[in-house]
Amino acid sequence: MMSGGYTSIDNQKVSGSVPAVSDPGHVTVKFADSSLQTFPPTGAQGKISGGAQPPRDADDTFSRPAGGSDEPQGSGWFRTFTVGAYKPYFDVDTSDVLDRLKESLFPFRGTFTEKTATNPDLYGPFWICTTLIFVAASIGTFVTYIAHKLKKKEWDYDINLVTWSAGVFYGYVTVVPLALYVVLKYFSAPSGLVQLFCLYGYSLFVFIPALCLSVVPLEIFRWVIAGVAGFMSATFVALNLRAHIKSAGERWFLIVASIFLLQLALAVVLKLYLFTVTV
């Protein structure tokens, strides 16, 4: 009887604590919302969202400027001697440089200064002058070597051709814009100095193919090539500065004519010293 009564009480406890189980074939499972439902997550970090950040415990002592600023410190003339002062003038890509080179080969458009007014560069002028020095030295050496061999004469390499070319091209593209900058400022028609460097640098690009064509051993052909290159370069500079220099008053024509003739004089000098072969 005791065991039977105990069994009855136990059955009552069990029946009171265990609920009825529904059909196991209809079980509904629900998941809480999470960022794994979409890819990438809305709060993506790193390279996917373009905001890669270092770990919070990373030490950025070497990457952070001493003053706590990302820009180089300094003002006035001291900033002129920092790399950061010239960084904006080299902020161009290949398409920009190619477009400006093409523009220099069409001198009658006169739109170069307008297209480069907001972003004049020094990258193109530097490499144009450097390429001219290399081409002038290599082509000049090759032409004189062939001329000496054809006449069966002894040939010696002339190192002065490199130094002379460097002095002419680097000097011209630096001194002439500086002088023009002072003149325009005197006549109350100031222009940006970097923009003048940019204009004169790209104006020399036409002499690169001209020097390559000077390998043809015909003196009259070399004169024609030098004349055409000089005329294109002079027209390119003069037409691009004409609209700006007109604000200088009645003397604007004299200034533009002087710019044009000075560029032609450069072509004559290059013809006499680089396009001429003497044996």
Tokens in use for 42?
Answer: 């809305």
Q: Which residues of 210-235 are buried (b: 16+ CB within 10 A; e: fewer)?
A: bbebbeeeeeeebeebbeebbbbbbb
Q: How many CA atoms lie within 13 A of 35 on its CB side?
A: 6
Q: How many CA atoms lie within 13 A of 134 on its CB side?
A: 6
- Per-residue pLDDT of 29-50, as tens digits, reads 454 444 444 444 444 444 334 4
Section 167-196 average pLDDT: 91
User: What is the per-residue pLDDT for 243?
Assistant: 81
Classify residue 89 as exposed, middle or buried by CB count within 10 Å of its CB (0-12, 13-18, 19+).
middle
Section 204-224 average pLDDT: 90
- Per-residue pLDDT of 49-80, as tens digits, reads 444 444 444 443 333 333 444 444 455 666 66
| pTM, 2 dp | 0.69
Percentage of residues in the chain with pLDDT exceeding 70? 69
Helix (H, G, I), strand (E, B) or coil at 10: helix
- Per-residue pLDDT of 147-166, as tens digits, reads 777 777 887 777 788 888 89
Residue ranges of the domains in the chain? 91-277
Confidence of residue 90 (pLDDT cuts 50, 70, 90): confident
Q: State how far the Cα of 195 lies from the Cα of 117, in Å rounded to an integer.
A: 7
- Per-residue pLDDT of 115-141, as tens digits, reads 898 889 999 999 999 999 999 888 888
Q: State how far the Cα of 222 lies from the Cα of 215, in Å rounded to an integer.
A: 9
